[in-house]
Amino acid sequence: MIDEKPYSQACENNKPYILDVLINEFKDVKKVLEIGSGTGQHAVHFAANLPHITWQTADQLEYHQGIYLWLQEYELSNLLPPIPLSIPNDPWPKQSYDAIFTANTAHIMQKIQVQFMMQKVSEALPTNGVFCQYGPFTIDGEFSSESNAEFHGKLLASGRGGYRDIEELKAWVDNIQLEKIIEMPANNLMLVWRK
């Protein structure tokens, strides 16, 4: 049991820049599924600032208690409690969402899990649905900075999947297209996919 909200400084740093992108990309969107909500900080910030959207949090069970603590404090009527989503073990959410968001998940998951996520997202989105995927990626096998290459090495050494290449992600999806690659602070990217 934890009684103090989990906190990520990285979330605090990146949330205004991510919100700037979502304001534009999610302007006509009503229901969003967030994969890997983590601490819950992104969810409360985005739901508070995008009141036209119902924001569905989701993550592996061990993250739920922390997410609940953030949700309880903010009491936002457009922010929904987390659904269990451990990819690929849990069933994919039955609800339909016109957009999906995920941040900093692809380099943490194993390759096979990322492949599964990309396929499920591309199947689940409706026509014109949008998938905003934030994080560090390689482009044609190249790291965007020395620190990103080092971090990738540390992830592999700790048993994580490490950075995925954008071409690899593209090869795993059948019916969504990579519409935009937006450069974000700290050598991160926002990949905007559309069905």
Question: Among residue numbers 150 through 169, which ones bind ligand SAM (CB under 6 A)?
Answer: none
Numbers of helices and strands, H then E, in the chain: 6, 7
CA distance 6 to 141: 34
Nearest-approach distance from CB 159 to ligand SAM, in angstroms = 12
Of 22, 47, 80, 103, the one binding ligand SAM (CB under 6 A) is 103
What does the block give as tokens for 140? 């044609």
In angstroms, the Cα distances linking 179 to 113, 186, 190 are 23, 22, 11
Of 29, 32, 53, 109, the one binding ligand SAM (CB under 6 A) is 109
Q: Does 189 bind ligand SAM (CB under 6 A)?
A: no
Q: What are the two backbone dihedrals, phi and then psi, of residue 162, each rounded to the nearest 5 degrees?
A: 80, 180
Nearest-approach distance from CB 160 to ligand SAM, in angstroms = 9
Of 22, 71, 87, 99, the one binding ligand SAM (CB under 6 A) is 87
Nearest-approach distance from CB 81 to ligand SAM, in angstroms = 15
H or E segment to which residue 45 belongs: helix 41-49
CA distance 31 to 53: 6
Q: Does 11 bind ligand SAM (CB under 6 A)?
A: yes
Q: Does 108 bind ligand SAM (CB under 6 A)?
A: yes
